[in-house]
């Protein structure tokens, strides 16, 4: 008997979780449940990460968390418990499957266009680090981290999953035409991994073009892998294609811990009324059963759900309004009564169970992710982000006094657009500039050189922050300013 952690969630969470666990019990799912304390009410008790220490220890011991929707208190300066859980336990791949469900009418189902798209979203990095600063009273900065090892983890998972699924196509969504370093790294890793899977048709699409194609010809896509923020947006877009978040399961996969959850809201307006739709959480739970190797039971439950939807049974948030809706409990009871039945369209095959050995994880130290360096790393310059409301030429004249004889001022930009030595008077400015110094003839600078230059720049400006310009072998590790 496999034991998992269960967090029922906030709002409608306990109602839909009870409905799903009732279905599991009726199906004789061989699981034991350890209910843990997570969610808004835990925040309200003073636990800043939304979970008790006992809950964290239980989840880290059992390795599987099945959770309902959770609310993060507003205006209290705390982080989302959902994001915190995914990042703390390095569940690096967010897998969300979007399929046409017969009985859930959409524009595409009415047009006879079948949808079967799996979005794999990187779950740890990007702007979701939440590292933000006010550089001046007018200028906010958010740091975006994309790493080679982190990209490799999620992209490797996406290719492996696509291979097992028998996917016809795997696509990388990106914005590397603009974010050439960060999205460029993600895309580079995608094609590096693709070399190991010649049987898969791997290609890439710029994310805005991807969104347009998804809402016009969604049947063209199979598996799509994206960075965190873009994946978050595209995932919800795809949920809209199949009827909404109430029909969109979610799995957060890591090497040691995995989380299966409903990603829709807590719906406080209907809490306690027993009318919530448990479909998304049930689909997430079915995915969890497959993850645990319970193939026969998961297929039986899913077929019963699909048969129920096909029969026109529905909760109040969807379905044929000419057919009276049922409540949460009744919806679960109907699914149970349909065990052993198969839908007319897209029945799931009953496969033999896979033997999965429960593993108790005890890590002695944090895993370090590091790839092999591409060449000798040297510092060839520095970008200073300074506060000033002066004109570009005034900023340049002051900065030129601090070149130290081993560095040269090459460009000044404002909001990413070059304003010196070339620029336009029509470029609107804010009170924060980037002044780029590069070493003479690409010679190496030391950190001491950078520190001395920083001290000199501080005599004329408030230096909000700085970034060193690195080269790795012959490869520059920094981008040019717009217009440079």
Q: How far apart are CA 358 and CA 347, in angstroms?
A: 29
Fold match between 1-91+254-371 and 377-476? no
Identify the pLDDT of residue 43.
Answer: 84
Report the topology of domain 377-476: Alpha-Beta Plaits (3.30.70)
Identify the pLDDT of residue 342.
Answer: 96
CATH architecture of 93-233: 3-Layer(aba) Sandwich (3.40)
pLDDT digits 0-9 by tens, 138-177: 999 999 999 999 999 999 999 999 999 999 999 999 999 9
Identify the pLDDT of residue 32.
Answer: 96
Strand partners, 249: 262
First to last CA, the chain: 63
Signed CA dihedral, 264, 347, 225, 66: sign only: positive
Strand partners, 121: 94, 226
Identify the pLDDT of residue 60.
Answer: 93
What is the pairing mode between strands 64-67 and 258-262? parallel
Q: Which residues of the chain have pLDDT under 50?
A: none
What are the sequence ranges of the domains in the chain? 1-91+254-371, 93-233, 377-476
Q: How far apart are CA 85 and CA 75, in angstroms?
A: 20
* Average pLDDT in the chain: 93
Residues recorded for the chain: 484
**Domain at 1-91+254-371: CATH code:** 3.40.718.10
């Amino acid at each position: 008997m496999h034991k998992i952690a269960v967090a029922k969630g906030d709002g409608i969470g306990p109602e839909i979780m009870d409905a799903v666990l009732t279905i599991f019990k009726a199906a004789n799912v061989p699981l034991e449940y350890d209910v843990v304390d997570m969610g808004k009410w835990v925040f309200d008790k003073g636990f800043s990460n939304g979970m008790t220490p006992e809950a964290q220890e239980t989840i880290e011991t059992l390795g599987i968390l099945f959770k309902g929707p959770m609310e993060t208190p507003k205006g209290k300066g705390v982080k989302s418990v959902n994001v915190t859980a995914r990042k703390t336990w390095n569940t690096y791949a967010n897998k969300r499957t979007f399929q046409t469900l017969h009985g859930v009418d959409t524009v595409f189902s009415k047009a006879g266009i079948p949808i079967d798209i799996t979005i794999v979203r990187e779950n740890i990095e990007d702007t979701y680090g939440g590292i933000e600063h006010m550089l001046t009273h007018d200028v906010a900065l958010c740091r975006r981290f994309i790493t080679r090892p982190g990209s490799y983890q999620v992209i490797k998972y996406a290719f492996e999953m696509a291979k097992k699924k028998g996917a016809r196509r795997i696509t990388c969504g990106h914005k590397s035409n603009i974010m050439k370093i960060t999205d460029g790294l993600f895309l580079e890793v995608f094609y590096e991994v693709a070399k190991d899977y010649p049987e898969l048709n791997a290609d890439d699409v710029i994310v805005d073009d991807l969104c347009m194609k998804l809402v016009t010809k969604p049947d063209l896509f199979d598996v799509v892998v994206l960075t965190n923020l873009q994946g978050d947006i595209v995932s919800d877009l795809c949920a809209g294609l199949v009827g909404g978040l109430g029909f969109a399961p979610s799995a957060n996969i890591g090497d040691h811990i995995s989380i299966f959850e409903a990603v829709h809201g807590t719906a406080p307006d209907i809490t306690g009324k027993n009318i919530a739709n448990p479909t998304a959480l049930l689909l997430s739970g079915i995915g969890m059963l497959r993850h645990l190797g319970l193939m026969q039971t998961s297929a039986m439950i899913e077929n019963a759900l699909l048969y129920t939807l096909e029969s026109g049974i529905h909760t109040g948030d969807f379905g044929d309004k000419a057919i009276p809706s049922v409540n949460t409990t009744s919806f679960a009871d109907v699914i149970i009564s349909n065990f052993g039945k198969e839908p007319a369209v897209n029945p799931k095959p009953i496969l033999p169970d896979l033997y999965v050995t429960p593993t108790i994880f005890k890590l002695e130290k944090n895993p370090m992710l590091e790839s092999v360096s591409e060449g000798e790393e040297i510092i060839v310059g520095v970008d200073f982000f300074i506060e000033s409301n002066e004109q570009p030429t005034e900023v340049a004249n002051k900065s030129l006094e601090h070149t130290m004889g081993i560095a040269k001022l090459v460009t000044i930009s404002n909001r990413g657009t070059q304003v010196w030595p070339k620029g336009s008077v029509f470029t609107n400015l804010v009170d924060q500039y980037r002044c780029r110094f590069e070493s003479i003839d690409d010679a190496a600078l030391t950190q001491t050189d950078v520190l001395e230059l920083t001290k000199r720049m501080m005599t004329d400006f408030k230096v909000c922050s700085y970034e060193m310009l690195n080269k790795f072998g012959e490869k520059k590790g920094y981008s040019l300013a717009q217009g440079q």
